[in-house]
Amino acid sequence: MYNEYDNLSFEEQLHLTEEEMRRRHNQQMFLRRNAQLLQQELEIEAKLLEENPEFARTIHSLNMQEIQSNQRGLQNILGSEKLGAKEQNVWSKFFPGLGGK
């Protein structure tokens, strides 16, 4: 079966394999470092929230507002006839002859 390495010498294939091993090792080290930094960030955040109850309440309130806003947006997209009317108005501005009801 033909593959992209058939035309390469053994040394060239070995070099590519070594490059791939280095690339994978570097990627693993990068991921490991990212995981360590994320863990540190989470620990600092937990400590800040623990030491500052008012800050924790504010963060919670902002998160709840964001969730509610996302839910309202989703409800507007899924269930509102107003969206269809708005969409129709937008299209009619660009293509006035195309199917107005």
Q: What is the mean pLDDT of residues 87-100?
A: 60
List, for residues 53-87, the tens digit of each pLDDT value: 998 899 889 989 999 988 888 777 776 555 455 55
Structural domain containing residue 65: 58-82
Distance CA 18, CA 11 (A): 10
Distance CA 38, CA 8 (A): 42
**Res 30 pLDDT > 60:** yes
If one compares 6 and 86, the residue with the highest pLDDT of the two is 6
If one compares 32 and 100, the residue with the highest pLDDT of the two is 32
Residues 47 and 66 in one domain: no
Virtual CA dihedral for 22, 25, 27, 32, nearest 10 degrees?
A: -160
First-to-last alpha carbon distance for the chain, in angstroms, is 61
Instruction: Say if residues 92 and 100 touch (Cβ distance below 8 Å).
Output: yes
Residue 3 within any structural domain of the chain: no
Residue 100 within any structural domain of the chain: no
Distance CA 21, CA 15 (A): 10
Residue 2 within any structural domain of the chain: no
Q: How many structural domains compose the chain?
A: 2
To the question of pTM greater than 0.95 for the whole model, the response is no
Spacing of C-alpha 99 from chain mean position: 38
Residues 15 and 45 in one domain: yes
pLDDT in the model for residue 101: 47
